[in-house]
């Protein structure tokens, strides 16, 4: 099977998608928007050059990981440009930085198995990032999970995810019995407590999804997973009784309509937006994203469904599934248990984030304010996602 030919064909479709979408945005503006075409050209050059470097110097790994992530990034940049031109310029800069990090990890990073010995460093850094928002965070959109350093705002929990996965992989690779799980369980529970205190319920769900997935892969014990869900249920009940913001999220999830003008305004506008688009959408550039709050980050999926249709929304979910499949495939071919667990953890991180935000936007689960990976605006999210994918790409190179 000629995978190179298939990869290049998919890459050409990616270029076509990019130019067609940006051309559509350029035409509907009067006068013709040359900036949209410049964005399309820069985006395609970045993707093409990155693929060339990876294919030429590291031809053994799974290149579909990069291609699927590029398609999702293109969709995100198109929608962000349509909503906020200034924000899209920042986004393409973060995309360039993220892709550069992806390439540097693949090119410069030594064999991943050698990093398993630094588990106590991962542990300390994880706890620092998890606690940072609690003690020095700034409240934005109801969550105290933003920290400002040198004039730059970022979410420490985003970087905490990266190190939490590395720590769990280093700890769980030596699993022999239940005693080996006591310390990692305590670390995960402490991280979840920090997230609940910071009112960052989305990150709490993601950490839980990562931990349970890695636990099952490392131990193959379903009873451990059942115990985790029971403890999670107990923790959810306690959080519901202790924290008012948790009660509000559950209240508006059960019935958002009585609170449509205040607490549930965001989710109601999101559902209106998705419903107004129908199956095929209003057309790119012809919807009303201005009615959807936080439309370039938390609720960008609602804007996508309004203008491109629910069918395209499902297509985006399928793209995420394909990306998840390729990442998990890299885990199967990993050289050692640490590398395999690392790939599983980062794959679960991306999949959990997609499920949590899409479920919240559609009111299938209580709403949690997090970004849609690679699609939503956000430097921290873009960097962490590409760094994670770069590590998985490296693991796929080593396993061939």
**Mind spelling out the 3-state secondary structure of the chain?**
CCHHHHHHHHHHHHHHHHHHHHHHHHHHCCCCCHHHHHHHHHHHHHHHHHHHHHHHHCCCCCCHHHHHHHHHHHHHHHHHHHHCHHHHHHHHHHHHHHHHHHHHHHHHCCCHHHHHHHHHHHHHHHHHHHHHHHHHCEEECCEEEEEEECCEEECHHHHHHHHHHHHHHHHHCCCCCHHHHHHHHHHHHHHHHHHHHCCCHHHHHHHHHHHHHHHHHHHCCHHHHHHHHHHHHHHHHHHHHHCHHHHHHHHHHHCCHHHCCCCCHHHHHHHHHHHHHCCCCCCCCCCCHHHCCCCCCCCHHHHHHHHHCHHHHHHHHHHHHHHHHHHHHHHHCCCCHHHHHHHHHHHHHHHHHHHHHHHHHCCCCCCCCCCCCCCCCCHHHHHHHHHHHHHHHHHHHHCC
pLDDT the model gives residue 70: 94
Across residues 378-387, what is the average pLDDT?
90
Across residues 318-322, what is the average pLDDT?
95
**218-246, pLDDT tens digit by residue?**
988 888 889 988 988 888 888 888 778 78
pLDDT category at 148 given cuts 50, 70, 90 is confident
Dist. CA 71–CA 85, nearest whole Å: 20
**168-209, pLDDT tens digit by residue?**
999 998 888 888 888 999 999 998 888 888 878 888 888 899
Q: Is the pLDDT of residue 400 over 70?
A: no
Q: Is the dihedral of CA 122, 171, 116, 345 positive or negative?
A: negative
**271-311, pLDDT tens digit by residue?**
999 999 989 989 998 889 989 888 888 899 999 999 999 99
Across residues 23-35, what is the average pLDDT?
89
Residue of 19, 20, 14, 25 whose CA lies nearest to 72: 14
Dist. CA 133–CA 128, nearest whole Å: 9
What tokens appear for 315 in the block? Answer: 């297509």
pLDDT the model gives residue 137: 67
What tokens appear for 95 in the block? Answer: 């995309």
Q: Is the pLDDT of residue 247 over 60?
A: yes
Among the residue ranges 87-96, 224-233, 300-309, 330-339, the one predicted with the least confidence is 330-339
pLDDT the model gives residue 14: 94
pLDDT category at 1 given cuts 50, 70, 90 is very low
Q: What percent of the chain has pLDDT over 90?
A: 44
């Amino acid at each position: 099977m000629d995978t190179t030919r298939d990869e290049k064909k998919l890459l050409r479709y990616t270029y076509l998608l990019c130019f067609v979408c940006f051309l559509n945005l350029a035409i509907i503006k009067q006068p013709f928007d040359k900036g949209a075409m410049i964005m399309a050209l820069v985006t395609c050059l970045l993707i093409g050059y990155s693929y060339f470097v990876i294919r030429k110097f590291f031809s053994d790994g799974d290149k579909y990981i990069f291609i699927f992530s590029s398609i999702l990034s293109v969709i995100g940049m198109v929608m962000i440009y349509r909503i906020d031109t200034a924000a899209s310029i920042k986004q393409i800069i973060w995309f360039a930085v993220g892709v550069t990090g992806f390439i540097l990890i693949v090119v410069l990073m030594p064999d991943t198995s050698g990093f398993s010995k630094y588990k106590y460093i991962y542990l300390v850094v994880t706890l620092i990032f998890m606690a940072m928002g609690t003690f020095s965070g700034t409240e934005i959109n109801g969550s105290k999970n933003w920290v400002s350093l040198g004039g730059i705002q970022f979410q420490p929990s985003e970087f905490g995810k990266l190190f939490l996965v590395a720590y769990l992989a280093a700890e769980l690779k030596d699993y022999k019995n239940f005693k080996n799980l006591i310390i990692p369980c305590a670390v995960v529970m402490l991280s979840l407590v920090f997230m609940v205190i910071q009112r960052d319920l989305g990150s709490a769900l993601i950490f839980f999804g990562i931990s349970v997935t890695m636990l099952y892969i490392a131990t193959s014990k379903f009873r451990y997973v059942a115990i985790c869900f029971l403890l999670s249920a107990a923790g959810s009940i306690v959080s519901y009784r202790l924290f008012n913001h948790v009660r509000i999220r559950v209240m508006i999830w059960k019935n958002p309509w009585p609170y449509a003008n205040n607490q549930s305004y965001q989710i109601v506008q999101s559902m209106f937006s998705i419903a107004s688009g129908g199956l095929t959408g209003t057309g790119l550039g012809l919807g009303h994203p201005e009615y959807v709050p936080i439309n370039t980050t938390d609720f960008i999926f609602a804007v996508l469904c309004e203008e491109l249709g629910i069918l395209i929304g499902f297509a985006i979910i399928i793209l995420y599934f394909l990306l998840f499949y390729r990442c998990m495939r890299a885990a199967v071919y990993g050289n050692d248990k640490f590398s395999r667990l690392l790939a599983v953890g980062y794959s679960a991180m991306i999949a959990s984030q997609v499920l949590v935000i899409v479920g919240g936007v559609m009111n299938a689960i209580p709403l949690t304010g997090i970004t849609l990976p690679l699609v939503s605006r956000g430097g921290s999210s873009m960097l962490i996602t590409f760094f994670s994918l770069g590590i998985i790409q490296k693991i796929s190179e080593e396993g061939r």
